[in-house]
Structure 1
Amino acid sequence: MASMDNNRDEEEPFVAAAASVDNSETLRNHTKDVHILSSAFLLIFLAYGAAQNLETTLNTKDDMGTISLGILYVSFTFFSLIASSVVRFMGSKNAVLLGTSGYWLFIAANLKPTWYTMVPASLYLGFAASIIWVGQGTYLTSTARSQARDYHLHEGTVIGNFNGEFWGMFASHQFVGNLISLAILRNGTEGSTTGTTLLFTVFLCSMTLGTILVCFLSKRVDGGEEGPKDSSVSLYSSLTSLSKSVITPLLDVRMLLIIPLIAYSGLQQAFVWAEFTEKIATPALGVSGVGGSMAVYGAFDTICSLTAGRLTSGIFSITWIVSAGLFLQAVVFLWILLKYSLTSGVLGIVYPLLMAAMLGIGDGVINTQLSALLGILFKHDTEGAFAQLKVWQSASIAVVFFINPYISLQVMVEIMLAALFVAAGGFLDLSAAVFSNPLLNMSLPFTSLRHRLSWPLILYSATWTSLLTLTVAVASFSPEIAFVSTISSFSQGCEQEGTIRVPLDVPGEVMCLPAHLFKRSTVTDSIVSLLFAALVVAVSAWVVRAMGLWEDDEATL
């Protein structure tokens, strides 16, 4: 017996050592998966992000680029409603892997851009984008939970650290991808652009590497997330659960007050992709310079995303950070609407880059704080809250891409300002309610809504009326869009029908731009603006009245 005890004592250190080796290996595996996932998304989205920025400037024939992106985000909106069920059925790793195929096909379609290649690729990418993002969130959360469980760590801290690494690397895709496009694209003669085939080939190689990296991810089994389910009952149950998670948040007044900010976050992103790149950056910098301006946008977006995340501590900090971001973007929109004009020399380059930086700061803080806000206010229904985030964001992005070919830059900027004021009013109203009653973190009773929505409606109407009055006054002196008025006097007929010639600083060189960039402000534009403003106020009032909330005079916060 003594001999057996001695043998057991001698074996115990080796067992403990083996367990230690296993634990360290498990740690390396968990962190390795985060590194792989982050690197894969960087390689995939540096290609897609830069391609999306160029879509409206390269594929201008019949507005094919703009309409393709509109189709993409309509598809994204629809499939976001069922993406959770697809990911549960396939497993998170398989969903991410399948999702990469949509981005690969979209870039490949741009090598030969026709309606027959771009429309199917856009439709499929909408589906792929919906499942890759749900799969990414599921996989990253599962990885963090495994790390916390295996090493007895605080789950929230680990989730925060893993998300910090992922989003830090992901945010840099705009900077890296647009630097690549800046290095490869060159302005050709008479407005043409050279190097597009080489650029999209490089992007395909980058996406292929990202897809290969996804294959090396470990499978996750936490919570039964991996592996197809054979039972049709299970799929039906998940669909039923998903429908509830999508509808239930809409019955919460807090979500109704946040939705305008969510929709605005999508609108301002689409404005940069569809309007800023085509109608401000391209005339000032050329098609090859779009990559440079978007690299500046991405750099400031990345820095401010990381900084805002570090500064976030609760509703109070979120309120100030979001307000600062909205203020900067409002300054840019008012600048474009009332003052901006295309100039030559250094200022002609500095102004678009400064706008890109300010828009990037706003985008970085708004999107970072939206995620934090939803996480704080909807702890018991996070999935439903983030489903609303994707649905409203993608829907608003689709709207911009579809209406872009039919309205002038002036009207689009006016719409952005109106949406910004509505979003700010709803968000600040919610923040004030939470400050006055911290219990509203958990719920916000419907009975107080009239008291809090009556003054925002008046504020929206007054602000929008003042803005339109100022716009009409400016238009009476200059009937053209501000930045167009400076360069329209230089316009000459180009060889290509329907384009306008703009002289560059280099003697003898010109750039041909589509005629729709030079639309004059018309009475129709003013009518559209007024109708949009009236629609915003009318819909807000209708929602309040339809829900039976207008009649309660006694409820207060």
Structure 2
Amino acid sequence: MFIFTAFQTCGNIAQTVITNLNNTDFHGSGYTSMAIIYGVFSASNLISPSVVAIAGPQRSMFFSGIFYSIYIAVFIEPLTWSFYTASVFLGIAAAILWTAQGNCLTVNSNENTIGRNSGIFWALLQFRGLITFLHLKVVIKPAKRSLENDRRTVFIALTVISLVGTVLFFLIRNPQESSAEEGEISGSADNLVEPMADQSKMTRAADAFKSAIKLCSTKEILLLSVTTAYTGLELTFFSGVYGTCIGAVNKFGVEEKSLIGLSGIFTGIGEILGGGIFGLLSKSNRFGRNPVVMLGIVVHFIAFYLIFYNIPNDAPIASIYGTDSIAYMEPSKEVAIFCSFLLGLGDSCFNTQLLSILGYLYAEDSAPAFAIFKFIQSVCAAIAFFYSNYLLLQWQLLIMTVVGFFGTISFFTAEWEAPAFVAKNNDYSSI
């Protein structure tokens, strides 16, 4: 929550700061930076399981947090080369952070608590969106003209917030690491313990990479990949495209731009509410994960239908002057904001249950599974960002509807077969 509050606030004001800086010796681009981050992030998911296997989830999260803080700190005294270099390292750190978080969540959970813990994790993470948009609306926006003068103060504060979150990783317990340390202590009389420990780490790293490659072709991962792909597409839509659509509708009047911030706030409320509720409902795991995913797709289909009727088709690709077109009803601010809430609520349904089922299926080897999850999600998000520049709103909604339908069916299949998969793995491990 702390790290991503700082990072998301940085991302929202970065382009404004960069525009002012480009009048000086600095010649960077926020869009180029994001392209570098997403590209490196996607590729780095292939090596992140090996890094987590060597360093452990706690150290991996800590050092990843350091690089998030460095990226934010670059804006205190920005240089073009340092800005792009930090973008590269941030892409690597992001892949390691998400893989380590999934691994840490799994090793601190069991079959009965993984759903609850996934919900709590997701709700806390989504608080960062609510805090960010409130910060932008109340603090940053009124002082936008003086943002350049206060740039150092703003980014020093954001760097400190990110570092606070990084330090908090040390308070997270790591059962696997504790067991490993006890094993090393009990065998300290043997002179070969330290070389064997190093060899063991390298073996774990190699095994983690091999596991990630093998998992890509397994039935369970292939089924969940369709669901994961959908989360990447709808992530792009609600985090980038939908806000642009709202801001482009001239019929909303002078409030059209301020509605973007309000839309972000209600998306965050939906995410937090969903994560909290589904975390509590997962305590007993009585009804399984399928009802939550079913709720998520129904909520999203309702949102897509209302958006289709409320927002003009040319809104995603409208010019800087916006669009005067009307869809199938007079554009309604209330409906637009309600759809933001539904998009956030539906997203939390899918992500909490994906985190839960991955932790359940791959309790003994979670890092490669979460790395594949983030790889597929980030690649699909990048694809969606690309086609969003060219496709009308109706076609973007149609793509998400089709992929969402098949993603839901594939998740149902994976959930139904999950107990048999886990039982088979337990039989092998006992042998």
Task: Compute the TM-score of the two structures, normalised by the length of structure 2.
Answer: 0.73
CA contact (8 A) 1:328 1:358 kept: yes
After superposition, the Cα gap between the structure-2 partners of 1:293 and 1:322, relative to the gap in structure 1 and judged at 3 Å, is same
Q: Which has the larger radius of gyration?
A: 1
Task: State how far apart, in whole Å, the 2-side matches of 1:430 and 1:378 are.
Answer: 15
CA contact (8 A) 2:274 2:348 kept: yes
Give the aligned partner of residue 6 of structure 2.
47
After superposition, the Cα gap between the structure-2 partners of 1:52 and 1:276, relative to the gap in structure 1 and judged at 3 Å, is farther
CA contact (8 A) 1:79 1:127 kept: yes
Q: CA deviation at 1:368?
A: 0.7
- Give yes or no for the alignment of 1:185 onto 2:166: no
Residue-pair matches, total: 384
Give the aligned partner of residue 390 of structure 2.
407
- Give yes or no for the alignment of 1:326 onto 2:281: no
Instruction: List per-residue Cα deviations over 1:331-366 (Å, max 9, x = no partner).
Output: 33344445414799x976434322211111111111
Q: CA deviation at 1:304?
A: 0.8
Task: State how far apart, in whole Å, the 1-side matches of 2:417 and 2:36 are.
Answer: 43
Q: Report SS of the residue matched to 1:81.
A: coil
Instruction: List per-residue Cα deviations over 1:377-406 (Å, max 9, x = no partner).
Output: 4556544332221211122223334555x4
After superposition, the Cα gap between the structure-2 partners of 1:425 and 1:218, relative to the gap in structure 1 and judged at 3 Å, is closer
Give the aligned partner of residue 224 of structure 2.
258
* 1:87-126 equivalence runs, <5 A: 87-110=52-75, 116-126=81-91
After superposition, the Cα gap between the structure-2 partners of 1:352 and 1:111, relative to the gap in structure 1 and judged at 3 Å, is farther
Task: State how far apart, in whole Å, the 1-side matches of 2:308 and 2:263 are.
Answer: 20
Q: CA deviation at 1:262?
A: 0.3
Q: CA deviation at 1:295?
A: 1.8
- Give yes or no for the alignment of 1:206 onto 2:186: no
The one-letter code sitting in structure 2 at the alignment partner of 1:407 is Y
Task: State how far apart, in whole Å, the 2-side matches of 1:219 and 1:394 are.
Answer: 27
Q: CA deviation at 1:85?
A: 2.1
Gaps of at least 5 residues in structure 1 are 1-41, 146-154, 444-557
Using the TM superposition, name which of 213-222 and 100-109 deviates more: 213-222
After superposition, the Cα gap between the structure-2 partners of 1:53 and 1:267, relative to the gap in structure 1 and judged at 3 Å, is farther
- Give yes or no for the alignment of 1:374 onto 2:358: yes
Instruction: List per-residue Cα deviations over 1:8-33 (Å, max 9, x = no partner).
Output: xxxxxxxxxxxxxxxxxxxxxxxxxx
CA contact (8 A) 2:247 2:260 kept: yes
After superposition, the Cα gap between the structure-2 partners of 1:75 and 1:327, relative to the gap in structure 1 and judged at 3 Å, is same
Instruction: List per-residue Cα deviations over 1:35-80 (Å, max 9, x = no partner).
Output: xxxxxxx221112234445667876899943342232122122222
Q: Report SS of the residue matched to 1:185.
A: helix
Gaps of at least 5 residues in structure 2 are 185-193, 313-322, 425-431
The one-letter code sitting in structure 2 at the alignment partner of 1:180 is H
Q: CA deviation at 1:278?
A: 3.2
* 1:328-347 equivalence runs, <5 A: 328-341=299-312
Task: State how far apart, in whole Å, the 1-side matches of 2:199 and 2:302 are.
Answer: 53
Q: CA deviation at 1:125?
A: 0.9
Task: State how far apart, in whole Å, the 1-side matches of 2:166 and 2:34 are.
Answer: 22
Task: State how far apart, in whole Å, the 2-side matches of 1:158 and 1:386 are.
Answer: 18
Give the aligned partner of residue 23 of structure 1.
none
Q: CA deviation at 1:241?
A: 0.8
**Match among 382, 385, 403 for residue 422 of structure 1:** 403
After superposition, the Cα gap between the structure-2 partners of 1:219 and 1:423, relative to the gap in structure 1 and judged at 3 Å, is closer
Give the aligned partner of residue 309 of structure 1.
279
Q: CA deviation at 1:416?
A: 5.0
Task: State how far apart, in whole Å, the 2-side matches of 1:323 and 1:159 are.
Answer: 19
Instruction: List per-residue Cα deviations over 1:219-242 (Å, max 9, x = no partner).
Output: 873243899x86764454223311
Q: CA deviation at 1:325?
A: 1.6
**Match among 223, 233, 236 for residue 270 of structure 1:** 236
Q: Report SS of the residue matched to 2:289.
A: helix
Task: State how far apart, in whole Å, the 2-side matches of 1:426 and 1:258 are.
Answer: 7
Give the aligned partner of residue 317 of structure 2.
none
* 1:390-469 equivalence runs, <5 A: 390-404=374-388, 406-408=389-391, 410=392, 414-429=395-410, 431=412, 439=420
Q: Report SS of the residue matched to 1:251.
A: coil
Task: State how far apart, in whole Å, the 2-side matches of 1:349 and 1:138 are.
Answer: 41
The one-letter code sitting in structure 2 at the alignment partner of 1:205 is V
Aligned-CA RMSD value: 4.1
The one-letter code sitting in structure 2 at the alignment partner of 1:266 is G
After superposition, the Cα gap between the structure-2 partners of 1:276 and 1:219, relative to the gap in structure 1 and judged at 3 Å, is same
After superposition, the Cα gap between the structure-2 partners of 1:278 and 1:193, relative to the gap in structure 1 and judged at 3 Å, is farther
Give the aligned partner of residue 180 of structure 2.
224
**Match among 65, 75, 84 for residue 30 of structure 2:** 65
After superposition, the Cα gap between the structure-2 partners of 1:183 and 1:323, relative to the gap in structure 1 and judged at 3 Å, is same
CA contact (8 A) 1:178 1:291 kept: yes
- Give yes or no for the alignment of 1:298 onto 2:279: no
CA contact (8 A) 1:43 1:209 kept: yes
The one-letter code sitting in structure 2 at the alignment partner of 1:133 is W
Q: Report SS of the residue matched to 1:186.
A: helix
CA contact (8 A) 1:87 1:134 kept: yes
Task: Compute the TM-score of the two structures, normalised by the length of structure 1.
Answer: 0.58
The one-letter code sitting in structure 1 at the alignment partner of 2:340 is A
Give the aligned partner of residue 428 of structure 2.
none
Task: State how far apart, in whole Å, the 1-side matches of 2:217 and 2:375 are.
Answer: 16
For CA contacts below 8 A with separation 6 or more, give which structure has more relative contact order: 2
* 1:151-170 equivalence runs, <5 A: 156=111, 165-170=120-125
The one-letter code sitting in structure 2 at the alignment partner of 1:224 is A
Q: Report SS of the residue matched to 2:84.
A: helix
The one-letter code sitting in structure 1 at the alignment partner of 2:180 is G
Q: CA deviation at 1:101?
A: 1.9
CA contact (8 A) 1:171 1:302 kept: yes
Task: State how far apart, in whole Å, the 1-side matches of 2:229 and 2:127 are.
Answer: 24
**Match among 94, 99, 123 for residue 134 of structure 1:** 99
